[in-house]
Amino acid sequence: MKPAGLAALRQRLAAHSATPARAPGARYASSPLLAAKTPIWRSRFVVLGVGLTFCLLIGRAVYIQVVNQDFFQRQGESRYQRTFPLQASRGRITDRNGQVLAASVPAQSIWVIPKDFAASAAQRQALAKLLGLSPAELSNRLKENPNFVWLRRLVSDSVAAQTKALAIPGVHQQREYRREYPEGEAIAHVVGFTNVEQVGQEGIELAFQKQLVGRNGSRSVVRDRLGNVIEDIGDRTEPADGHDIALSIDAKIQFVAYQQVRDAVLQHKAKAGSAVVLDTQTGEVLALANYPSYIPGERQTRTGANLRNRALTDTFEPGSTMKPFITALALQSGRVKPSTVIQTAPGSITITGSTIRDSHPHGPLTVQQVLQKSSNVGTVKMAMQMQPREMWDAYHAVGFGQKPALAFPGLASGKLRAYKTWRPIEQATMSYGYGLSASLFQLARAYSVFARDGDLVPVSLLKQAGPVAGEPVFRPEVVREVRTMLNMAAGAGGTAPKAQAVGYSVGGKTGTAHKQDGASYASDKYRAWFVGMAPIQNPRIVVAVMVDEPSNGTYFGGEVAAPVFSQVVQQTLRVMNVAPDLDIKPQIVARAQAAPATEESF
């Protein structure tokens, strides 16, 4: 083919390839699909749906960011942030000489993040055993809260170390404080104890909670998912430790009193016993002991009976210990003198049909001898010369029927009925201690009027700066005469020769009484006590002792309580550096203590 022909062919082919292929009869502009109309409601529905979705999103954002922001903030922070309390150290309780009676020491507490807890069967068993839990108890605790659960608070150092050595993921330790009581059961009823949160539950721990507790601090930290602290956040608040409390108690005297009471209770197979020691110059409580007792830091020893501070809470009819007050009142009113003779024969007296008896007939006795030999008849004859109001005023003036002004929980007020309700027989029995009630502490304080110049001393469990003034009740000369009689009662021919102390003159009064059993008195249950002072011419201390239900064959106060008084007086005055006022002749005292006691009327 000629070149001109080839060129023309190529042009035709190029033109043909440049023209797009089109199906025969296809018209795109008139396609039925493009010609169909979309319903208007469909487009509006789509727009409305999109709008509602945006509204919901905005509402949810407002709810989270504004309305309930605090909740979601806490939920978020709980995943990574934790605020630990920085526990303040509770204040110490010390005796008058600075000896520690209660103090807080660091101790570890074990806690867990249950959702992070991962332990093998052997580790779970070892952990439960270390913490004193059964496997079931451990499992139940792990279900309480996925983020935080206490496993055991205030464990010993060895338990903390062994727990840490297990290296169980999710198990952590936190330092807290545990309360320690170095003097144990001897001081338990005074200091009391706290719970695991360091809140006072009994005794001084409860009475001075606000002063002892201090103020806790706090530390906020960021944790990783394993509970490890990454960094501190925010300001750290440092704890403020509590204030120390210095008591009037002398730990040495307290131990002596506790030991002597305990030994007497065991010797006489008694139910319980108590002793109170007061400083007559300052009104300070030097000892307040009870048996049975408990160990403050050991929960299993804190049973109901052991917890009772019997010297303060238990009340009883004080029996013959009331006779010195009737004698003092009779002397002060001028009705009698120490040498006045009172006929007590035939050993009984009948008042409105009721007969009051002495243990045995004494015949004529001077007022001194009435108190020395504890004659009911002689005391009643003095009392029945008085108006009921006179007796009531005297009893009330020395604190009977009133709660002592002492910063301590559980104080008993006792019972002293209004004088207008007294019948003659009740006035008579109240003169020798029946028909009213008082605690041992009230008796001890009441006797301070005989140990001072006739005034009632204000009492305190806190250390005092020096001597204090009291409320006058009896004239000083009357008190000196009564002290002479109390000295006679505690010597040969009296009801308590066993109260004699080596090196110190003493005076006091026994008490023995049947215990009430329902509406009547038990014939075989007694309380025995002795309340006295020493040295007799210038008393420095008042000591009151009570033994409840002695059952070893002897139950008189002069036999059961007076020996405890003797030992407490001797050792207390030596601790206080009070010079002896008698020649130290133990053999003479031993003979005096061995002298037969006059059987007490009760």
> CA-CA distance, 431 to 601, in Å (whole number)?
13
Q: What is the pLDDT of residues 97-150, one digit of tens each?
A: 999 999 988 888 898 888 888 888 888 888 888 888 888 888 888 888 888 888
Q: If you write DSSP's letter for every residue of 409-420 in order, what string do you get?
A: TT----B---GG
**88: helix, coil or strand?**
coil
Q: State the angle between helix axes of 157-166 and 121-130 in degrees (0 to 180), rounded to the nearest 10.
A: 170
221/228 Cα distance (integer angstroms): 10
Q: State yes or no: pLDDT of 223 exceeds 70.
A: no
Domains and CATH numbers, the chain: 93-115+149-157+172-246 (3.90.1310.10), 251-594 (3.40.710.10)
Just list the catalytic residues: 320
Residues 476-535 have pLDDT tens digits of 999 999 999 999 999 988 999 999 999 999 999 999 988 877 777 887 889 999 999 999
Looking at residue 212, what is its pLDDT? 94
Rounded CA separation 418/538 (Å):
35
Q: Does 583 have pLDDT greater than 90?
A: no
pLDDT above 70 as % of the chain: 87
Residue 462 exposed, middle or buried by CB count within 10 Å (0-12, 13-18, 19+): middle
For residues 410 and 313, is the Cβ–Cβ distance under 8 A?
yes
- What's the pLDDT score for residue 78? 59
pTM for this structure?
A: 0.81
Q: What sign results for the dihedral spanned by CA atoms 557, 452, 282, 437? A: positive
pLDDT in tens, 288-312: 999 999 999 888 888 888 999 999 9
Alpha-carbon distance of 549 to 414, in angstroms, equals 20
Residue 461 backbone phi and psi in degrees, to 5: -95, 0
pLDDT digits over 390-423, tens only?
Answer: 999 999 999 999 999 998 998 999 999 999 999 9
* Separation CA 193–CA 183 (nearest Å): 13
> What Cα–Cα distance (Å) separates residue 251 from each residue in 100, 362, 402?
9, 44, 28
**Confidence bin at 588 (pLDDT 50/70/90):** low
Between β-strands 217-223 and 81-86, what pairing exists: parallel, antiparallel or unpaired?
A: antiparallel
| pLDDT of 253 above 90 | yes
Percent of the chain with pLDDT over 90: 58
43: enclosing H helix or E strand = helix 40-62
| Model confidence band, residue 230 (pLDDT cutoffs 50, 70, 90) | low
Question: To which residue do tokens 């464990």 refer?
Answer: 155
Lowest mean pLDDT among 180-189, 191-200, 426-435: 191-200
User: The tokens of 178 are what?
Assistant: 């545990």
Q: Is residue 567 within a helix (H) or strand (E), and if so which, with residue range?
A: helix 562-575
Instruction: Report yes or no: 251 and 101 within 8 Å, Cβ to Cβ.
Output: yes
Is-contact 154 176, C-beta < 8 A? yes
Between CA 488 and CA 597 the distance in angstroms is: 12
Does pLDDT of 37 surpass 70? no
Find the farthest-apart pair of alpha carbons in the chain and give their distance in angstroms, rounded.
Answer: 183
Which amino acid is present at 409?
P
> Tens digits of per-residue pLDDT, 433-483?
999 999 999 999 999 999 999 999 999 999 999 999 999 999 999 999 999
